[in-house]
Amino acid sequence: MTKPLRYLSFLLLPALLQACSHGSTYSGDTSGAGTYTASVERPKTPEELRAELLTAEQAAPADYLGVAGTYHRNFISQLVLEGDIASKATLATYKDPVLTVTWYSKTQTEIGTQQYPVYELLRPQGAAHFKLKTDAPGEVASVAMSISGATPVE
């Protein structure tokens, strides 16, 4: 082999090794004795992706459930809460969401908090209507409602 070709091979060999080693690992010592293994990640199947999404939705129901509603006092001074609980989940079904109600005074001081289970089934992207009559303190000026949890249906 002539000198120019030998120098050219020394320049091309590292570039060729670098191009071939993408996604691979080499473990060994500096003497050159070691093992060469290729690690290639395969894409997940749609079934695996759906299973991961379902697991994530079932693990955190409060992240996928929201509530919107109103409140008023009836003739016997009960505070009536009425609204809808909506599910943003794409795969998970929930049952018995827990509605957390916080009562506030005119100065926005928290007076109390109470949790109420709503015995309904919430399908993916579905909604459930609720109407609750509560014995809230008389000093209540405003109400905040949120969902603190639910039971995922297997």
Q: Is the residue at 28 inside a domain?
A: no
Q: Is the residue at 147 inside a domain?
A: yes
The CATH number that applies at residue 102 is 2.60.40.1620
Q: Is the residue at 29 inside a domain?
A: no
Does the pTM exceed 0.85?
A: no
How far, in Å, CA of 90 to CA of 93, rounded?
9
Q: How far does Cα 14 stand from its chain's mean position? A: 45
User: To which residue do tokens 């905040």 refer?
Assistant: 144
Q: Which domain holds residue 86?
A: 61-153
pLDDT tens digit sequence for 79-133: 999 999 999 999 999 999 999 999 999 999 999 999 999 999 999 999 999 999 9
Task: For residue 18, name the pLDDT band (cuts at 50, 70, 90).
Answer: low
Q: Is the residue at 112 inside a domain?
A: yes
DSSP 81-126: EEEEEEE--SS-EEEEEEEEEEEE-TT--EEEEEEEE---EE-TT-
User: What is the pLDDT, as a whole number, of residue 19?
Assistant: 53
User: Hey, is 69 helix, strand or coil?
Assistant: strand
